Amino acid sequence: METSEILGMGIGSKEQVFLKPTKVKIVSVSIKDKTKEGKEMKVPLAEINIKHPDKEELIPITKVKLERNGKLEVVATWIQVDEENGIKKINKSSALANLMAYLKVDKLEDVYGKEIEAVEQSKEDTYLCLKAY
């Protein structure tokens, strides 16, 4: 969009639609390894693509709400890897590992088709994240 086009815009009449917390289905996982500028990311990010009942398109979610040290935290789905006996595995304390344990799956690909609650990150931040506690 050109600057002149933006400067000439009026105010729209549509209210922004916020998706409500509800049960959703995990459809797929995409691995994001480049920034918007095309630079290589040091640590890849897993985008969990969900189907929300109130929206046609898939919604990518990159945060999980989990319990740590008796408190609820919202943590990004960075793909943190450890090596055990020469085999790479997802770090046990990562958000992805917590999500996988909550869904009782051994591999990340096994989350496909699972139902899970999508909840607000916090009262101040109403974006949805996946509930894993």
Is 1 part of a structural domain of the chain?
Answer: no
**Domain count for the chain:** 1
pLDDT of residue 129: 98
Is 29 part of a structural domain of the chain?
Answer: yes
pLDDT of residue 4: 87
Is 74 part of a structural domain of the chain?
Answer: yes
Is 96 part of a structural domain of the chain?
Answer: yes
Write the pLDDT tens digit of every residue in 37-62. 999 999 999 999 999 999 999 999 99
Is 7 part of a structural domain of the chain?
Answer: no
Do the beta carbons of residue 74 and residue 63 sit within 8 Å? yes
Is 68 part of a structural domain of the chain?
Answer: yes
**Separation of alpha carbons 67 and 45, rounded Å:** 20
84 pLDDT band, cuts 50/70/90, is: confident
Residue-by-residue DSSP string for 27-52: EEEEEEEE-TTSPEEEEEEEEEEEE-
pLDDT of residue 51: 98
What's the domain range around 35? 16-131
pLDDT of residue 14: 81
**Is residue 13's pLDDT more than 90?**
no
pTM score, whole prediction = 0.83
**Separation of alpha carbons 59 and 52, rounded Å:** 7
Is 8 part of a structural domain of the chain?
Answer: no
**What angle is formed at CA 62 by the lines to CA 60 and CA 65, rounded to 5 degrees?**
125
**Is residue 17's pLDDT more than 90?**
no
